[in-house]
Amino acid sequence: MEYSAHQIASLINGEIIGNPQVTVNNLSKIEDGSPGTLSFLGNPKYEDYIYKTMASIVIVNKDFVPKNEVETTLIKVDNAHKAFAKLLDAYNTKTNGLHGIEQPCHIAPTATIGNNSALAAFVYVSHRAQIGKNCKIYSNVSIGNDVIIGNDVIIHPGVKIYQKCIIGDRTIIHANAVIGSDGFGFTKNDDGSYTKVAQIGNVVIEEDVEIGANTTIDSATLGSTIIHKGVKLDNQIQIAHNVEIGEHTAIAAQVGISGSTKIGKRCSIGGKAGITGHLDIADDVCIGAGSGVAKSILTPGTTVLGAPAQELSETRKIWVSQKKLPEMVEKLNQLERELETLRKQMAENK
CA-based radius of gyration for the chain = 28
Burial of 182: CB neighbours in 10 Å, binned 0-12, 13-18, 19+: middle
Report the C-alpha gap between 307 and 288 in whole angstroms: 10
What is the bridge-based pairing of β-strands 57-61 and 154-155?
Answer: unpaired
Is 241 noted as a catalytic residue in this protein?
A: yes
- Residue 62 dihedral angles phi and psi, to the nearest 5°: -60, -30
Q: Which of 156, 174, 228, 241 is catalytic?
A: 241
Amino acid at position 182, single letter: D
Q: If DSSP codes are grouped into helix, strand and coil, which group holds residue 242?
A: coil
Q: What share of the chain is helix, strand, coil (3-state, %, to 5)?
A: 20, 30, 50
Amino acid at position 61, single letter: N
Q: Provide the annotated active-site residues.
A: 241
